[in-house]
Amino acid sequence: MILVTGATGLVGSHLLLKLTKKKDVIVALYRSDEKKNSTLDFLKKRSNSENYSDIIWKKGDLCNLPTLNLAFKGITHVYHCAAFISFANYKQKTLKQVNQQGTANLVNLAIKFGVKKIAYVSSIAALGNDVNSDFIDEQTPWNADKDHTPYAYSKYGAELEVWRATQEGIPAVIVNPGVILGTGVKGNPLEILCNRVDKNAMFYPKGSTGYVTVEDVVIVLFELMNSEIQNERFILVSENWSYQETFSQIARIRNKKAPRIGLKKSWLKTAWLLEIILFLFGKRRFMTKALINSLCDKKKISGEKITKNIDFKYADIQEYLNKNATV
């Protein structure tokens, strides 16, 4: 039996779509009935069979051990896709609780029930960052002296829990996807980017980031889970684009004006200082120095390792946007 956490999210829902084609016994962990029904609608529209109706839905929470314990009964393989995503400074507590402690709970139960393998969806936010290099890959060490966003700390902490599972004899693989582009789930990154363009946003960050399609993430997860590969991480980045290029391409496709003013680091630091002042008057703080640095960072993130370990080729990001970023 296969457990999918975060089954109603972007990766989770697309993973369910693939797994149901293989007629596996699937247990899907969900928190909201509304999102569960939305995911069922997505599967009904996208699936070529009725196998999605055989999914065993378990209402539960990574931070609620009794419900998580019930979901684990009979499970042999775990796709851990659940996560709380936010770059807000004031969300530190929730990020740590859900991403790090929630993963610790999952690992403890995986050890208890003797799970055969875990595939964990982390993030490029949890990767190392060598200040002396313009390049990031799986070998780039985590820099403990460098400031990181609360989200990065929570995902890095979650990875440590997954590596703990491997020390306890549970094989695992970790994937670190870039910005995941996909459709079918509300509030996904592609939808957010398109909304920014549609609202005629004037500003764009001056840095760059890596992109990958949700379909590619799912393919890799499935192939890694069903391979002999274990206890390794793989960055999933098809292409590195500047934020300016990203917004320009989406604006072209949607026949809108692209943001035209690059946000200088000095401007962002001024906004950060202003937030600190406003915090004294009760306003919650969103920005951090680490977030500013990441928005301005132009390092290349390499996703080549996975193509050398399995038979896989990334989807072209430009073609994907041409097809999916339309009005």
pLDDT digits (tens, 9 = 90+) for 140-164: 999 888 889 999 999 999 999 999 9
DSSP state of 127: S
Percentage of the chain exceeding pLDDT 90: 82
CA distance 107 to 181: 28
92 band by pLDDT with thresholds 50, 70 and 90: very high
Of residues 254, 156, 262, the one with CA closest to residue 202 = 262
Mean predicted confidence (pLDDT) in 183-200: 95
Alpha carbon distance 121, 99 (integer Å): 11
Residues in the chain: 327
Residue tagged 């600190």 (tokens) = 276
| pLDDT score of 290 | 86
Of residues 233 and 143, more confidently modeled: 233
Mean pLDDT of the 247-260 span: 96
Question: Are the C-beta atoms of residues 263 and 205 closer than 8 Å to each other?
Answer: yes
How many domains does the structure of the chain reveal? 1
User: What are the angstrom distances between the C-alpha of 261 and each of 194, 203, 205, 267, 290?
Assistant: 17, 5, 9, 12, 21
Residue 247 has pLDDT above 90, yes or no: yes
Asked if residue 281 has pLDDT above 60, the reply is: no
Average pLDDT (229-247) is 97
What is the residue range of 116's domain?
Answer: 2-185+211-240+299-316
CATH number, position 216? 3.40.50.720
Average pLDDT for 237-251: 97
Looking at the domain assignment, is residue 260 inside a domain?
A: no
Query: Closest by alpha carbon to 287, among 95, 94, 150, 146?
Result: 150
| Buried/exposed 44-55: b ≥16 CB within 10 Å, e otherwise | eeeeeeebbeeb
- pLDDT tens by residue, 4-51: 999 999 999 999 999 998 878 999 999 999 999 999 999 999 987 778
Strands 172-177 and 232-236: parallel
For residue 85, is it within any domain? yes
Q: Read off the pLDDT of each residue in 315-324 and give the average, rounded to a whole number.
A: 97
Q: Which residues pair with 5 in a beta bridge?
A: 80
- Banded pLDDT at 57 (limits 50, 70, 90): very high
pLDDT at 162: 98
Using the predicted structure, report yes or no on whether residue 181 has a pLDDT greater than 70: yes
List helix spans (H) across 96-242. 102-113, 150-167, 189-198, 214-225
Tell me whether residue 292 is in a domain. Answer: no
Domain for residue 60, yes or no? yes
CA distance from start to end of the chain = 40
**Mean pLDDT estimate for the chain:** 93
Whether residue 177 lies inside any domain: the answer is yes
Question: CA–CA separation, 66 vs 27, rounded Å?
Answer: 16
Task: Please indicate, yes or no, if residue 28 is contained in any of the structural domains.
Answer: yes
Confidence grade of residue 276 (pLDDT, cut at 50, 70, 90): low
Measured distance CA(276)–CA(278) in Å, rounded:
5
Single-letter amino acid code for the residue at 102: G
- DSSP 8-state assignment for residue 128: -
- DSSP readout, 223-256? HHHTSS--SEEEEE-SEEEEHHHHHHHHHHHHT-
| 259 within a domain of the structure (yes/no) | no
